[in-house]
């Protein structure tokens, strides 16, 4: 509202007031439906074929050194962010 309509910060209603207005208009918090992940993307076969080819080449090379690294990072995305809730109009 500040960027698009030119309101000043002190002219804006409180966050709770905005929630009440949205609720009256039918926009309530609800759980986002989880979707099943795609089983396989089309490029998987090409990627695996390339990995096997490179692995075979490196296995035959006595000068090569193989290092295995396993990393994990927890990042909430999509339906898992915001506690799985988003605002939407009830149908």
What residues does each domain of the chain span?
2-62+76-89
Q: What is the pLDDT of residue 5?
A: 80
Give pLDDT, residue 68: 79
Length of the chain counted residue by residue: 91
Q: pLDDT digit string (tens) for 51-81? A: 899 989 988 988 888 887 777 777 666 665 6
Q: What is the pLDDT of residue 90?
A: 63
As a whole number, mean pLDDT of residues 73-91 equals: 64
Looking at the predicted structure, is the pLDDT value of residue 41 above 80? no
Looking at residue 84, what is its pLDDT?
62
Torsion of CA 27, 32, 33, 37, to 10 degrees: 140
Q: Quick check: 36 pLDDT over 70?
A: yes
- What's the predicted TM-score (pTM) here? 0.32
């Amino acid at each position: 509202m500040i960027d698009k309509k030119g309101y000043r910060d002190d002219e804006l209603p409180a966050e709770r007031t905005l929630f009440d207005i949205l609720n009256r208009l039918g926009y309530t918090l609800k759980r986002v439906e989880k979707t099943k992940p795609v089983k396989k993307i089309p490029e998987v076969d090409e990627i695996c074929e390339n990995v096997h080819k490179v692995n075979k080449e490196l296995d035959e090379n006595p000068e090569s050194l193989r290092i295995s690294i396993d990393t994990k990072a927890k990042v909430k995305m999509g339906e898992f962010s915001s506690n799985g809730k988003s605002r939407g109009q009830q149908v």
